[in-house]
Amino acid sequence: MLSDYEAIAGRSAVEELRLLSARLSGKVIQNVNSTFSGGGVAEILSRMMPLLEQLGVDARWNVIKGSEPFFHVTKKFHNALHGRKDRITKEDFALFREITQKNMKKMRLDGDIIFIHDPQPVGLIGKKKERDKKWIWRCHIDLSHPTKKVWDFLKPFVVKYDAAVFSAPAFSCGLPIRQFLISPSIDPLSDKNRELDQKTIDSVLEKYDIPQDKPIITQISRFDYLKDPLGVIQAFELVQKSIDCRLVFAGGAAGDDPESDKVLAEVRERAGDNPDIHILPISPDPGSDIEVNALQRAATVIVQKSHREGFGLTVTEALWKSKPVVASAVGGIPLQVQNRFTGLLTYETEGTAHAIRQLLTNPDYARWLGENGKEHVRYNFLVTRHLRDYLLLFLALEHNEDIIRL
Amino acid sequence: MVEWLSANWLTIFIPLLAFLATYIVGLWLRRFIDKLLGRWKEKTKWEGSEVVARAVRRPFLLWVVLLGAAIAIQVSVLSPTVKSISGKAIGSLFVLSFAWVIITLGERLLRMYLPRWKVPQTTIALTVNIARITFIVIGVLIVLDIWGLPTSPILLLLAVVVLAAALAFRDIVPNLFAGLQLSATQQLKVGDYIKLETGEEGYVTAVNWGNTHVQALDESTIIIPNSRLLHGTIINYGRPLRKAEEPFRFSSRAHLTELTGLKAKNLRELVDCLKQAPDGVIYYHTHHFLEQHHYLTPELSNDFAIWVSDALGDEVLGERLATIETFASPNLGTLRERLVAVMEDYLSQGSNFREAMPGREFHFMKSVSVTMPTSYVVHDLREFVEALRKISLGSLFLHIFDSRLRLGRGLNDFSIWLEDDLGETELAEEVNRLDPYIYTLEGLRSALIQLIEKRIK
């Protein structure tokens, strides 16, 4: 219930949502992405839809249909937009166009505001006809170093939108349309983030056979090269030389990510037979959210050593649990981790290891960072703020001035 | 006839004599009681004494007549059956007349005292009627008992009626008594500003027999059952303060960040972009840190200073930019000139040619603000300070920061209202002198509340 958020985000934050949503009555907001489950986008949408409904906003959610080869292609696009050099062929582009055309024929896009998430459904803009309908492209990925070939292919679609939304300022890239900055968010009442009692935490650790005899360093992320799992193990090994501790690397797979099995195998091989490294593939079942929550709450320090990151919601989750965080200064992470205020930012493996050691040996400092981190999330990265930004965005599209008086 | 009278004169004369004797004694007794009551009235000086005296005096002769008749019948030669029936009839008449006296007395006393406790007319009428019905019922029951008729079924019926009434009015009765007590003790009056522990607050606009009406800060009326007021904790701030000519209507504002596409990787580019950026950009980069990190003790207060220190690694220039007082700038144009002047001066000394690492460029952004009215509308300082405790930080930001620089009013909205509509010149000046940039937002809220509370005291 929306009112449940009053105790966490403040009564005025929820009142503000009601005031704004009242101005959108009668409008239909249609969200389109590529999957109903797995990954940050689906997670945010699934939490946000019921709240929008309670606010009286007619919000809908559709997904495009695509074959496995299509999702291989979009995964390659995703990696390429993040700057990774993957071989992308003419056939890949042709397949993308073909599936886009099929979806354009099948899908009814009749909302007043069509909200397209990420590159997979970006081509649906071809259906834009009526001027009074607003089309927004919501980019959740880091576009600061895109592979030119892929960006050149996608850009003609993007420029036809009325506005684009990015998660960090550095992600925007010289577009002739209005661009907005909206950070994603976490839901403090979801299983992944709600408070847990010690008994639940203990039972999860027992299930995964993780003794609580020494400090635990944890990274929660998909098995994906961009999350640098091998770098995490290397940093942990450096820490382990001077401090006795454990590493928990846990994560699931998104529905549209076919690469994770290969990465998992490599990570297991790299971990070898080190008894203090726990590699945990978490099932994508809804019940596993509590397990992730428990693993984060059991951690002494949480790491997010990504090479590229859209926003890094796992960092937001860690901060919300008042955990000291060591994270790479990539993507949206610097928005969340204000270095030395709400966590520590690092650039390389050695730096990461040094920061972890610093936090393990200075628990008071670690606690102070964790508490600041939680407050930072409370005011800037909860779903209530995210909802507010979306409502503001829908209103802003109808006005061109900087100060809109309702 | 004459024969019959001469034969039975004694049987008529004795009862007649008894009746007359009783009547004469009665008249004498009434005069005696009158004197006694007169002395008692003088002695007690109780205003109800006149009511009591009048109520007793009027039926006294009737009671004497009834007593005389009863004695006359008893000493007569009438049959025992007639005597018994007449005795019951006289007894019934006495009970009914006595009940009438009690009812009249009770009604007059209630009508005398209840208005003094400010009990509403509807409550008085209700109380009088309840008392009237109670005594009539008691009288009728006694009469029935005198005639030997069974009273149990009637008592049972009455018990059922009373029980049903008690159930039907179970919520009203405690409120009714609470209302009486509130009025009697003068705990709260119309015009008082009250605050309940459950959060409701506002000016009392009416105290009724069952509930109290309070006008809340959003101008809605809250109806509070009296029993809650009696048993809960209430803060009563007392009488209303001076009302403003126009109420202050709190607005709130939320902002969305728009990316301008402009970015700088060194100081030269930063200055060039700064010169051409719209005012909204200057406002955003000198204010958003305050709002985003309002829970921290204010650190470097503008994004330019933070970026120069962090990304260019130039802490000297960072400090110079941080110490440009936003509060001392009357408008955004002046603020921009001061920022540009410090940067150009630094460049002219050839001090900074460093470049930010890729990914750490300065991105120019601006905010799109949406302002909207809130439900808080206040008419005096009491309502103002109570609303200040409740408004969102966005609302505080709008009325203090936005109004001064972004909306170009030169002053904060609170000072304008305090001065223009409430005539609180001194307080307006104090609020205006407060430098909001050296507080966290919650700290600023507390500082404002303190200033106003001090003025109210």
Contact residues, chain B to chain A, C-beta under 8 Å: 252, 254-259, 261, 278, 280, 292-296, 310, 359-361, 363, 365-374, 390-395, 406-407
Asked if the Cβ–Cβ distance from B372 to A376 is below 8 Å, we say no
Dihedral Cα A49, A53, A59, A61, nearest 10 deg = 40
Looking at A140-262, which runs of residues are DSSP E strands? 163-166, 178-181, 216-220, 246-251
How does residue B450 score in pLDDT terms, banded at 50, 70 and 90?
A: very high
Query: CA A223, CA A245: separation in Å to the nearest integer?
Result: 22
Q: Is the pLDDT of residue B10 over 70?
A: yes
Residues 6+ apart with CB under 8 A from B197: B232, B233, B234
Coil, strand or helix at A128: coil
Alpha-carbon distance values, B323 to B4, B149, B320 (Å): 131, 100, 5
Asked if the Cβ–Cβ distance from A379 to B295 is below 8 Å, we say yes
Q: If you average pLDDT over residues B88-104, what whole number do you get?
A: 88
pLDDT of residue B57: 77
Q: Hey, what long-range contacts does B2-5 have (CB within 8 A, 24 or more apart)?
A: none
The secondary structure element, H or E, covering residue A370 is helix A363-380
Of B294, B369, B392, the CB nearest to A403: B369
Q: If you average pLDDT over residues B125-131, what whole number do you get?
A: 83
* Contact yes or no for A246/A216 (Cβ under 8 A): yes
Backbone angles phi, psi at A62, to 5 degrees: -125, 155
The secondary structure element, H or E, covering residue A139 is strand A134-139
What is the least distance, in Å, from the CA of A338 to any CA of chain B?
10
* Contact yes or no for A248/A299 (Cβ under 8 A): yes
Dihedral Cα A219, A221, A226, A229, nearest 10 deg = 40
pLDDT of residue B281: 93
How many other C-beta atoms are found inside a 10 Å radius of the C-beta of residue B2?
Answer: 6
Asked if the Cβ–Cβ distance from A10 to B261 is below 8 Å, we say no
Closest CA to A350 of A235, A228, A219: A235
Coil, strand or helix at A266: helix
Of B254, B294, B359, the CB nearest to A20: B254
Q: Look up residue A382 and give its DSSP letter.
A: B
Residue with tokens 């200075």: A362
What is the least distance, in Å, from the CA of A254 to any CA of chain B?
27
Extract the tokens encoding A325.
């965080």
Q: Which chain B residue shows the shortest CA-CA distance from A11?
A: B392
Of B295, B369, B395, the CB nearest to A402: B369
* Contact yes or no for A220/A295 (Cβ under 8 A): yes
pLDDT of residue A325: 97
Query: CA A365, CA A355: separation in Å to the nearest integer?
Result: 12
Asked if the Cβ–Cβ distance from B392 to A181 is below 8 Å, we say no
Amino acid identity, residue A322? S
Asked if the Cβ–Cβ distance from B258 to A179 is below 8 Å, we say yes
Opening angle at CA A369, ends A367 and A374, nearest 5: 95
Instruction: Please state the ipTM of this predicted complex.
Output: 0.84
Opening angle at CA B189, ends B188 and B194, nearest 5: 55
Residues 6+ apart with CB under 8 A from B169: none
* Contact yes or no for A152/A135 (Cβ under 8 A): no
Backbone angles phi, psi at B453, to 5 degrees: -60, -40
Residues 6+ apart with CB under 8 A from A48: A59, A383, A386, A387, A390
Q: Is the pLDDT of residue B169 over 80?
A: no
* Contact yes or no for B297/B311 (Cβ under 8 A): no
Query: CA B368, CA A404: separation in Å to the nearest integer?
Result: 8
- Among B199-213, B315-329, B377-391, the range scoring the smallest mean pLDDT is B199-213
Residues 6+ apart with CB under 8 A from B151: B141, B144, B145
Of B254, B257, B369, the CB nearest to A180: B257
Query: CA B323, CA B337: separation in Å to the nearest integer?
Result: 14
What is the least distance, in Å, from the CA of A35 to any CA of chain B?
27
The 3-class SS string of chain B reads CHHHHHHHHHHHHHHHHHHHHHHHHHHHHHHHHHHHHHHHHHHHCCCHHHHHHHHHHHHHHHHHHHHHHHHHHHHCCCCHHHHHHHHHHHHHHHHHHHHHHHHHHHHHHHHHHHHHHCCCHHHHHHHHHHHHHHHHHHHHHHHHHHCCCCCHHHHHHHHHHHHHHHHHCCCHHHHHHHHHHHHHHCCCCCCCEEEECCCCEEEEEEECCCEEEEECCCCCEEEEEHHHHHHCCEEEEECCCCCCCCCEEEEEEEEEEEEEEEEECEHHHHHHHHHHCCHHHHHHHHHHHHHHCCCCCCCCCCHHHHHHHHCCCCHHHHHHHHCCCHHHCCCHHHHHHHHHHHHHHHHHCCCCCCECCCCCCEEEEEEEEEEEEEEEEECCHHHHHHHHHHCCHHHHHHHHHHHHHHCCCCCCHHHHHHHHCCCCHHHHHHHHHCCHHHCCHHHHHHHHHHHHHHHHC
Closest CA to B341 of B312, B310, B311, B317: B317
Dihedral Cα A378, A319, A259, A140, nearest 10 deg = 30
Query: CA A123, CA A73: separation in Å to the nearest integer?
Result: 14
pLDDT of residue B80: 86
Set of chain B residues whose Cβ sits within 8 Å of the Cβ of A144: 359
Coil, strand or helix at A147: coil
CA B335 to chain centre: 47
A172 near B CB under 8 A: yes
pLDDT of residue A57: 93
User: How long a stretch of residues is chain B?
Assistant: 457
Helix axes B121-146, B80-113, angle to 10 degrees: 170
Set of chain B residues whose Cβ sits within 8 Å of the Cβ of A339: 310
* Contact yes or no for A182/A167 (Cβ under 8 A): yes
DSSP string, A62-127: EE----HHHHHHHHHHHHHHTT------HHHHHHHHHHHHHHHHH-----SEEEEESSTTGGGGGG
* Contact yes or no for A306/A337 (Cβ under 8 A): no
Residue with tokens 């730096």: A351
Q: Hey, what long-range contacts does A199-202 have (CB within 8 A, 24 or more apart)?
A: A200/A290, A200/A294, A201/A294, A201/A297, A201/A298
Higher pLDDT, A264 or B310: A264
pLDDT mean by block of 10 residues, chain A; 406 residues: 89 87 91 84 88 93 92 90 84 94 92 94 90 89 87 95 91 87 92 95 95 96 90 96 96 67 91 94 82 96 91 93 94 87 92 97 96 93 94 90 86
Query: CA B379, CA B413: separation in Å to the nearest integer?
Result: 15
How does residue B35 score in pLDDT terms, banded at 50, 70 and 90?
A: confident
Query: CA B366, CA B282: separation in Å to the nearest integer?
Result: 8
- Highest mean pLDDT, choosing among A320-329, B49-58, B199-208: A320-329
What is the least distance, in Å, from the CA of B126 to any CA of chain A?
43
pLDDT of residue B198: 83
How does residue B294 score in pLDDT terms, banded at 50, 70 and 90?
A: low
Closest CA to A393 of A57, A35, A127: A57
How many other C-beta atoms are found inside a 10 Å radius of the C-beta of residue A361?
Answer: 11
Instruction: List helix spans (H) across A159-228.
Output: 198-207
Query: CA B346, CA B320: separation in Å to the nearest integer?
Result: 10
pLDDT single digits (tens) B70-79: 888 888 888 8
Q: Mutate which of A5, A12, A139 to disrupt the B interface (most B C-beta within 10 Å)?
A: A12
Asked if the Cβ–Cβ distance from B390 to A12 is below 8 Å, we say yes
Asked if the Cβ–Cβ distance from B373 to A380 is below 8 Å, we say no
Q: Mutate which of A162, A387, A402 to disrupt the B interface (most B C-beta within 10 Å)?
A: A402
